[in-house]
Chains A and B, each alone.
Chain A
Amino acid sequence: QKEVEQNSGPLSVPEGAIASLNCTYSDRGSQSFFWYRQYSGKSPELIMFIYSNGDKEDGRFTAQLNKASQYVSLLIRDSQPSDSATYLCAVMNSGYSTLTFGKGTMLLVSP
Chain B
Amino acid sequence: DADVTQTPRNRITKTGKRIMLECSQTKGHDRMYWYRQDPGLGLQLIYYSFDVKDINKGEISDGYSVSRQAQAKFSLSLESAIPNQTALYFCATSDSGGPSDTQYFGPGTRLTVL
Q: Which residues of A contact B (CB under 8 A)?
A: 8, 31-32, 34, 41-46, 49, 51, 88, 90, 92, 96-104
Residues of B within 8 A of A8 (CB): 40
Given contacts A32-B100, A34-B102, contact A98 B33 (CB under 8 A): yes
Which chain B residues in 15-47 approach chain A with CB under 8 Å?
A: 33, 40-45
Residues of A within 8 A of B105 (CB): 43-45
Q: Tally A-B pairs: CB < 8 A.
A: 52
Beta-carbon contact of A49 and B40 below 8 Å: no
> Cβ of B79 < 8 Å from any Cβ of A?
no
Beta-carbon contact of A101 and B101 below 8 Å: no
> Cβ of B104 < 8 Å from any Cβ of A?
yes
Residues of B within 8 A of A45 (CB): 105
Residues of A within 8 A of B108 (CB): 41-43
10 contacts between A and B (CB under 8 A): A32-B101, A34-B102, A41-B88, A41-B108, A43-B105, A98-B45, A99-B45, A99-B103, A101-B42, A102-B42
